Structure 1
Amino acid sequence: MKICIPTMGERGLDELVSEHFGRAPTFTVVDLEGLEGKELEGSAVASEAVKVVPNTSEHFGGVGHAPEIISGEGVEVMLCGGLGPRAIQMFEQFGVEVFVGLSGAETVRDAIRAFQAGALHEATDADACREHRH
């Protein structure tokens, strides 16, 4: 299963989570099957299991929307702190499940652990950010 976390840069599993996915400079895509049998600690994780994708959406002067970029990477699950109602709808259209509850103080490793522990909940319209103050 491929998951995606909006991130602040290119440090892979050690990168900080961006608080709002659409404004994240990068998206870190992790193939959980590629991590099987490997510890989330240290840098022993195979590089092919972790990919950093630049956010080239309209928010950054590019083309398209972040959910399109993420879906194009084969992502099945998005983990984030917050996102708008339109993004939730777009992810639904692309068949990507969205789980919320992360904070910007967490790393990608922390986000994966929280997801695996069941500490995040599936996003609903009630979880959608109505203002961009992240």
Structure 2
Amino acid sequence: MKICFPTETLQGMDSMVYGHFGSAPGFVIVDTGTGSVEEIANGDLHHAHGMCQPFKALGGRRVDAIVVGGIGMGALMKLRADGIVVFRAVEGTVGENVELLNNRSLPQFQPEHTCAGHSGGGCAH
């Protein structure tokens, strides 16, 4: 399974999981089958809120799941429509969240927990 983690910095499994998908500076992609780790810059970093293009952000890379602290409704719906499962991260590193995901301890992201914008504090994370 290829799992994508939005991150503040690119430090492999030691990267801290970022609080938002669309505004994350980079992504760490972990292949749990092979153990490989890939780091990429966010290809859609500068977009208006609600206009995130998840597949542009990932540079066209295919993933099976995303683990993130926060995500907007539009991005969540686009990812789900493409068969990508989105899990709600806990604060910590990519490695810690991989372990929690392997233990089935991370919940799937639900629409009622999506970010509705920051001007009015609309995030539920």
Could you say which TM-score interval applies, normalised by the shorter chain? 0.7 to 0.9
Partner Cα distance (2:64, 2:21) in 1: 15
Partner Cα distance (1:21, 1:58) in 2: 9
Residue 117 of structure 2 aligns with an amino acid whose one-letter code is E
Hey, what does 2:114 align to over in structure 1? 128
What residue ranges of structure 2 are gaps of 5+ in the alignment? Answer: none
- What's the TM-score, normalizing by structure 1? 0.78
Do the aligned partners of residues 95 and 68 (structure 1) sit closer, same or farther apart at CA in structure 2, a change above 3 Å counting? farther
Higher relative helix content: 1
Q: Which has the higher contact order (CA 8 A, sep 6+)?
A: 1
**How well do the aligned residues superpose, as a CA RMSD in angstroms?**
2.1
Which of 97, 107, 120 in structure 2 is aligned with 1:111?
97
What residue ranges of structure 1 are gaps of 5+ in the alignment? Answer: 36-48
Do the aligned partners of residues 68 and 95 (structure 1) sit closer, same or farther apart at CA in structure 2, a change above 3 Å counting? farther
Percent sequence identity is 29
Does the CA-based 8 Å contact 1:19-1:102 persist in structure 2?
Answer: no
Partner Cα distance (2:88, 2:31) in 1: 19
Does the CA-based 8 Å contact 1:114-1:120 persist in structure 2?
Answer: yes
